[in-house]
Structure 1
């Protein structure tokens, strides 16, 4: 089965590295970026079940202090 997104596993990795749980990430997205997600949305993204919109990916990257390129490709620069 094909994943609905490329970034789910890296979102989980960055979230855990920062000591956040899924509820914390959802709350930060709501407070800092007015993006309404709950814990189950984050879980589905991390498991590759739910796709991620571009503005959601940008906000997640900002909350987790990583680049969108890293979330998508696992590296900081093209090439």
Structure 2
């Protein structure tokens, strides 16, 4: 199966919102990765960086975990609100 970027470049919709929420919260990528790990999502700082730049696919099951860690809604992460 071939995976095609959304706009020829990004592999997720939420990356820029993840970065925005993380920066608003005043935490580093490493601190976010720790928060995600505490919630059962095993990702490191590099994975967070790749999410934010759109280089990493973000599966749907990760969205609620990201939203919880960043104290936003899944809809906000997807740009729906």
The normalised TM-score by structure 2 is 0.86
Question: Residues 10-29 of structure 1 correspond to what in structure 2 (within 5 A)?
Answer: 10-29=17-36
| Partner Cα separation in structure 2 for residue 55 and residue 20 of structure 1 | 23
Query: Counterpart of 1:30?
Result: 37
The count of corresponding residues between Structure 1 and Structure 2 is 74
Structure 1, gaps ≥5 residues long = none
| Partner Cα separation in structure 2 for residue 55 and residue 22 of structure 1 | 20
Root mean square deviation, CA, Å: 1.0
Corresponding residue to 1:53 among 59, 65, 71: 59
Deviation at 1:2, TM superposition (A): 2.9
Q: Is the 8 A contact 2:17 2:79 kept in 1?
A: no
**Secondary structure of the corresponding residue to residue 78 of structure 2:** helix
Displaced runs of 4 or more, over 4 A: none
Distance 1:74 1:13, change over 3 A: farther
Structure 2, gaps ≥5 residues long = 1-7
Query: Counterpart of 1:69?
Result: 75
Q: Is the 8 A contact 2:67 2:73 kept in 1?
A: yes
